Amino acid sequence: RYALALSLLREGAYKESEKIFESLLKQNELIPYFIGLARSKFGQQLLEESISIYKKSLKLFPNDYSLTYYLSTTLIAAKKPLQALKILQTYLGTNKNATPLYFPAAQAASDSGRQALSYRFLAEYAFGNGQYKNSLQYINTALKATPKGSNQAAAHLARKREIEKQMSDSLGVLRQ
């Protein structure tokens, strides 16, 4: 039944998939079922209901990567970037290796008018994907958009040095 619900979801039969996911959740509260139900609601443009499902599921499965990702992207779609940003910053504060989450974090920061932070997240996204040159460009842009002498500027500068060191170390390995 799960496969059928997913097929219906992919085909845009959101109401039909919703019914199956609700039935599956009554039998067993599993993360994929919550995501499927919330995506069914999202497909029907019921963003608040989708958000509510993700929040409920995160209470049952705190700190889950997939639920955090889908909740944050749904909040961004619902024009609630500050909520998305808060959730993502909390998650990324304890899960530095969640590289894909830096991209919606950058979107949420940009949508909430925090451009320097957006570039910082893009730098982390690029860095996590091994794109050190792009990461350095983004961190430089973040530095330019941050008031000189601020704590954020100091943090960006420290991160810039780490990125440069990683680039240098990587080039050294390639030369050997």
pLDDT given at position 173: 58
In degrees and rounded to multiples of 5, residue 47 shows phi and psi of -65, -40
pTM value is: 0.89
Q: How far is 34 from 5, CA to CA, in rounded Å?
A: 12
Is the confidence at residue 176, as pLDDT, over 80? no
What is the structure's pLDDT at 80? Answer: 98
The token pair that represents 19 in the structure block: 């019914």
**What is the pLDDT confidence band of residue 172, given thresholds at 50, 70 and 90?**
low
Structure tokens at 154: 């100091």
Output the six-digit token pair for 147. Answer: 């008031």
